[in-house]
Amino acid sequence: MGSTRVVRWYVKRKGFLVERWVGHQVLNQLLKSLRPVTTQHRLIRLGGDTDGGYLVPDDLEGILACFSPGVGDVSEFETDLAKRDIRSFLADHSVEGPASPNPHFSFEKKFVGTTNDEATIRLGDWVETSGCAPDDDLILQMDIEGTEYDVILDVPEDVLSRFRIMVVEFHDLPLFLGRTGFRFAKAVFDKLLRNHTVVHLHPNNNTPVIEFHGLEIPSVMEFTFLRNDRIEQKSPAHTFPHHLDRPNVASRDEIVLPDCWFRAR
């Protein structure tokens, strides 16, 4: 048995998965498609100064409602939307309700996932039964600890296209360094990019950056998307962090977005 096969056999016996790296070329193609752009809409910050605050395009006028799966212990993002008379639908089975009450909030004690049962609801069905009209523009703010990939693949594209703005925290990003994880992640991002464009990226400083063959992949990162029909002009974004970015964990140093995510290679 060759030395490479011996190593693979050993780590499999220890409970680890070993697979080939996807390679520079295809990985760079994916990163290129995710490079953020600036548009005619300046970025503003909604939410607090740490975790739970996000940058979004200043294109909120006419948005009827926000769908916010993953509540946790903060609701400042939705509170800021309420000040603009934007209603928020929140869902999380792990808490009893939003962190702070608000007449603009509607809460479901359910996780958002890929089934409908006592503890879970599918995103598409949640939107369809909310009372929002099919032509209402919406905003999505999703932080569901890794389930975001499954949910995005599950939601119908006509529902996804109703979100003018989407803020999604993606977890476990280094998984797409391997071939299997890459195919899964690419399917998710290809679906998102059919009708939306990345307008901001912000690494979460509560998790490490993985360095591999000259590439740096934050473990968790916040992605802000804007629907393409709202973009009249765009150019590559080059300044990171944005002056409105804040560390997710105030006691730790900010993670600067690695160059491979926004510079040509």
Asked whether the predicted pLDDT for residue 21 surpasses 90, the reply is no
- For 126, 137, 162, 193, 225, the CA distances from 122, given in Å and listed in that order, are 6, 19, 16, 21, 21
The answer as to whether 34 is a domain residue is yes
- What DSSP character marks residue 178? B
Residue 79 domain-assigned (yes or no):
yes
For the chain, what is the domain count?
1
- Tens of pLDDT, residue by residue over 105-125, are 999 999 999 999 999 999 999
The pairing of beta strand 234-236 with beta strand 137-142: unpaired
The pLDDT value given to residue 215? 87
64 domain-assigned? yes
pLDDT at 162 over 60: yes
Range of the domain at 97: 21-261
Task: Please check whether residue 141 lies inside any domain of the structure.
Answer: yes
The CATH number covering residue 106 comes to 3.40.50
Query: Taking 80 as the threshold, does the pLDDT of residue 13 lie above it?
Result: no
Domain assignment present for 8: no
pLDDT one-digit tens code per residue, 199-253: 999 999 999 999 888 889 999 999 999 999 999 999 999 999 999 999 999 999 9
Residue 192, pLDDT > 70, answer yes
Domain assignment of residue 10, yes or no? no
DSSP string, 32-86: HHT--EEESSPEEEES-SSTT-EEEES--TTEEEEEEE--TT--HHHHHHHTTT-
- Rounded CA-CA distance 16/209 in Å is 20
Cα separation of 126 and 67, whole Å? Answer: 9
In this prediction the pTM is 0.92
Inside any domain, residue 15: no
In the predicted model, what is the mean pLDDT of residues 64-68?
98
* Radius of gyration of the chain measured on its C-alpha atoms: 19
Answer yes or no: is 209 within a domain: yes
